[in-house]
């Protein structure tokens, strides 16, 4: 109950009175009323009133102002008649209807009550209550001026600094710390209605960014005692920045410079096209045989080529037999073979050339005659000897079948083995003769891409195919050395099987080529030596003895080849591999 009554009293009083701004009542025009009390610097204040439309109150002294320093009153009791009201200490002489309270009468942080009474003190026209700090309206700052802070390169946008000073009345207060004033700046374009506000704090300058040239702006500042009321606005100043044409059009200069550089670059590229192509995309070196001019091959002068080769001590006429011979081994995927022996035994000799030749493919484009794909008897025995002798430089490339029953991939035979001028050497005999090895790399590559296993095996096979003929032949060195490496790899894995192919070979002397053993691990090498994965140059192909059905069946190796997980990063092979490099790879 009591709170409700209290609320109602509050509401009534709230409607009736106001602290600041001055009260607005329905009978404002008629009755005398207080227009407001103001303080400028928290030291003094004054109150003003209006007489209204009462004609008999225009005399000074008709309306009197009384104040009370409201002190101890019971809460909830808004009546003040029991406390003493004092009359205005000094009615302002300069203005009518104003009462001035000097500094000794101004109690700060204290509530005042002001009453407007009639001359006879019996009618209270108006009253208000306030605390002095709540009616502080600081004077506006003075001395506004502006300077250009910076201008954009095009001259269209610029930044301005507006600065001002405190009002003289507040200077002392601010200096002593009695009042702390903060400022607010407002600016707008001349014709717009919306002011843009900036809160500066205590700093007496404002940075206005982004003003357009040739547009007039209006700026004004007002001050505020922090936490209380804002004072009046200062006089507005107008900013107008003339637009200056930029002396140097920097953007256009930049554009022209960029275009010029681009044109020069284009000219340079066009004029030096060939050289640039050579620099950027160097040609892939072709395979070379020492002493043989590849130009001859290009021109198709095979006769000279043949003569050159025939004069080579290593290239014996038996290499150029006209007998067609199988060139490379075709691996038959679909036919699992238990062992290679039966294949080898069942192999037809070299003389059974048609059978064998059908199994071999060759896409050789430059050879006129058929190279002798088969190793001669003495070569085979030589191979055997050399293998057993443990020639470290050139090992008989033996393959170890990585997976026992798994057949090697069958590559569709779509190439024929034409009579080729030369073939790649697979081994050197002790007498210095060259033993050619069949080439099945391309076949293996071309057909066995689908299955990774077969691919690996084929890669292994072809890697084993070649030995380094000469150390400094870049074309084959990698392959040969890879084969060597792979031979070395396979060597520790299948020491037992090393002997087997040779025995088989010995059993089948007609087989010109050794049975390549599967590499136990060839995938890293094939990855390492990408040239091995590529078909060799079509100048010649390597043929290898093919077993029956035109498929090269590898000897199954019971040992599972350990996967070499460690793939060493091999450097690009330029030149031949040194022994140390081989050791690194194998070790």
Residues near other proteins (CB under 8 A) are 3, 7, 10-11, 13-14, 17, 19, 42-43, 70-78, 80, 103-113, 129-131, 133, 172, 175-178, 180, 201, 226-227
Least Å distance, CB 228 to other proteins, is: 9
Least Å distance, CB 175 to other proteins, is: 7
Nearby residues of 561 by Cβ (< 8 Å), 6 or more positions away = 400, 402, 490, 493, 518, 519, 520, 521
Least Å distance, CB 43 to other proteins, is: 5
State in Å, rounded, how far the first CA of the chain is from the last one: 102
Kindly tell me which of 227 and 495 has the beta carbon lying closer to other proteins.
227
Least Å distance, CB 81 to other proteins, is: 11
Kindly tell me which of 177 and 313 has the beta carbon lying closer to other proteins.
177
Least Å distance, CB 227 to other proteins, is: 4
Tokens (6 digits) for 573? 């092979």
How many residues comprise the chain?
587
Least Å distance, CB 168 to other proteins, is: 15
**Closest to 138 in 3D by CA, of 229, 204, 20:** 229
Tokens (6 digits) for 6? 């209290």
Kindly tell me which of 225 and 505 has the beta carbon lying closer to other proteins.
225
Tokens (6 digits) for 402? 């990585």
Least Å distance, CB 207 to other proteins, is: 16
| Measured distance CA(316)–CA(435) in Å, rounded | 10
Kindly tell me which of 111 and 118 has the beta carbon lying closer to other proteins.
111
| Measured distance CA(382)–CA(375) in Å, rounded | 10
| Measured distance CA(445)–CA(251) in Å, rounded | 59
Per the CB < 8 A criterion, the answer to whether 424 and 466 are in contact is: yes
Kindly tell me which of 1 and 279 has the beta carbon lying closer to other proteins.
1
Kindly tell me which of 38 and 548 has the beta carbon lying closer to other proteins.
38
DSSP 8-state class, residue 230: E
Strands 98-101 and 45-50: antiparallel
Q: Counting Cβ atoms within 10 Å, is residue 296 exposed (0-12), middle (13-18) or buried (19+)?
A: middle
Kindly tell me which of 75 and 580 has the beta carbon lying closer to other proteins.
75
| Measured distance CA(363)–CA(446) in Å, rounded | 11
Per the CB < 8 A criterion, the answer to whether 466 and 480 are in contact is: yes
| Measured distance CA(242)–CA(349) in Å, rounded | 104
Least Å distance, CB 110 to other proteins, is: 6
Least Å distance, CB 111 to other proteins, is: 2
Main-chain dihedrals φ then ψ at residue 203, nearest 5 degrees: -75, 140
| Measured distance CA(334)–CA(46) in Å, rounded | 115
Nearby residues of 375 by Cβ (< 8 Å), 6 or more positions away = 383, 426, 435, 436, 511, 512, 513, 514, 545
Least Å distance, CB 133 to other proteins, is: 6
Kindly tell me which of 68 and 289 has the beta carbon lying closer to other proteins.
68
Least Å distance, CB 251 to other proteins, is: 38
Tokens (6 digits) for 346? 């069942």
Nearby residues of 180 by Cβ (< 8 Å), 6 or more positions away = 174, 202, 225, 226
Kindly tell me which of 25 and 111 has the beta carbon lying closer to other proteins.
111
Per the CB < 8 A criterion, the answer to whether 515 and 344 are in contact is: yes
| Measured distance CA(110)–CA(21) in Å, rounded | 18
Strands 64-69 and 86-87: antiparallel
Strands 33-39 and 45-50: antiparallel
Strands 196-201 and 90-91: unpaired
| Measured distance CA(281)–CA(234) in Å, rounded | 75
Instruction: Tell me if the bond preceding 234 is cis, omega within 30° of 0.
Output: no
Least Å distance, CB 268 to other proteins, is: 56
Kindly tell me which of 7 and 142 has the beta carbon lying closer to other proteins.
7
Tokens (6 digits) for 575? 């030149």
Least Å distance, CB 80 to other proteins, is: 6
Kindly tell me which of 204 and 533 has the beta carbon lying closer to other proteins.
204
Kindly tell me which of 74 and 274 has the beta carbon lying closer to other proteins.
74
Return the residue matching tokens 């190793």.
Answer: 375
**Closest to 579 in 3D by CA, of 491, 533, 587:** 587
Q: Which three-class secondary structure state does DSSP give residue 12?
A: helix
Least Å distance, CB 109 to other proteins, is: 5
| Measured distance CA(214)–CA(580) in Å, rounded | 81
Kindly tell me which of 72 and 431 has the beta carbon lying closer to other proteins.
72
Least Å distance, CB 13 to other proteins, is: 4
Kindly tell me which of 11 and 240 has the beta carbon lying closer to other proteins.
11
Kindly tell me which of 78 and 470 has the beta carbon lying closer to other proteins.
78
Per the CB < 8 A criterion, the answer to whether 327 and 442 are in contact is: no
């Amino acid at each position: 109950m009591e709170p409700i009554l209290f609320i109602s009293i509050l509401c009534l009083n709230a409607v009736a009175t106001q602290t600041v701004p001055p009260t607005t009542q329905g009978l404002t025009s008629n009755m005398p009323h207080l227009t407001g009390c103001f303080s400028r610097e928290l030291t003094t204040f004054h109150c003003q009133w209006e007489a209204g439309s009462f004609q008999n109150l225009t005399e000074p002294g008709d309306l009197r102002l009384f104040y009370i320093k409201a002190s101890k009153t019971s809460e909830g009791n808004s009546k003040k008649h029991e406390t003493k009201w004092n009359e205005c200490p000094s009615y302002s002489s300069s203005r009518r209807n104003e009462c001035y309270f000097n500094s000794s009468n101004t109690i700060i942080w204290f509530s005042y009550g002001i009453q407007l009474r009639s001359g006879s003190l019996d009618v209270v026209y108006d009253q208000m209550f306030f605390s002095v700090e709540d009616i502080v309206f600081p004077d506006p700052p003075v001395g506004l001026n502006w300077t250009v802070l910076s201008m954009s390169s095009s001259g269209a946008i610029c930044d301005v600094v507006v600065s001002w000073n405190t009002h003289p009345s507040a200077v002392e207060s601010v200096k002593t710390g009695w009042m702390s004033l903060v400022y607010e700046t407002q600016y707008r374009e001349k014709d717009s209605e919306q002011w843009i506000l900036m809160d500066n704090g205590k700093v007496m300058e404002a940075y206005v960014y982004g003003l357009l040239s040739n547009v007039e702006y209006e700026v004004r500042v007002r001050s505020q005692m922090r936490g209380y009321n804002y004072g009046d606005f200062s006089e507005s100043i107008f900013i107008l920045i003339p637009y200056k044409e930029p002396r140097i059009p920097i953007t256009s200069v930049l554009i022209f410079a960029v275009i010029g550089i681009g044109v020069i670059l284009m000219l340079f590229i066009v004029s030096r096209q060939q050289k640039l192509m050579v620099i950027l995309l160097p040609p892939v070196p072709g395979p070379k045989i020492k002493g043989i001019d590849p130009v001859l091959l290009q021109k198709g002068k095979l006769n000279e080529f043949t003569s050159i080769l025939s004069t080579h001590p290593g290239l014996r006429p038996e290499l150029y037999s006209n007998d067609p011979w199988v060139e490379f081994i075709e691996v038959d995927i679909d036919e699992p073979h238990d062992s290679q022996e039966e294949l080898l035994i069942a192999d037809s000799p070299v003389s059974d050339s048609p059978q064998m030749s059908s199994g071999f493919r060759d896409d050789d484009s430059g050879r006129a005659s058929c190279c002798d794909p088969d190793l001669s008897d003495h070569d085979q025995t030589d191979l055997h000897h050399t293998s057993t002798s443990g020639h470290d430089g050139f090992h008989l490339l033996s393959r170890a079948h990585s997976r026992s029953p798994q057949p090697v991939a069958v590559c569709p035979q779509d190439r024929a083995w034409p009579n080729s001028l030369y073939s790649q050497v697979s081994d050197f005999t002790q007498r210095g003769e060259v033993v050619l090895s069949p080439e099945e790399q391309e076949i293996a590559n071309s057909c066995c891409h689908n299955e990774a296993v077969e691919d690996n095996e084929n890669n292994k096979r072809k890697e084993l195919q070649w030995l380094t003929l000469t150390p400094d032949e870049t074309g084959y060195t990698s392959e040969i050395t890879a084969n060597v490496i792979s031979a070395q790899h396979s060597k520790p894995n299948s020491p037992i099987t090393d002997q087997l192919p040779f025995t088989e070979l010995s059993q089948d002397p007609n087989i010109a080529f050794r049975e390549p053993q599967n590499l136990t691990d060839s995938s890293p090498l094939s990855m390492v030596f990408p040239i091995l994965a590529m078909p060799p140059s079509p100048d010649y192909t390597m043929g290898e003895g093919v077993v029956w059905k035109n498929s090269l069946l590898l000897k199954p190796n019971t040992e599972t080849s350990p996967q070499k997980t460690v793939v060493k990063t091999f450097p690009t092979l330029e030149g031949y591999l040194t022994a140390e490099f081989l050791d690194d790879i194998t070790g």
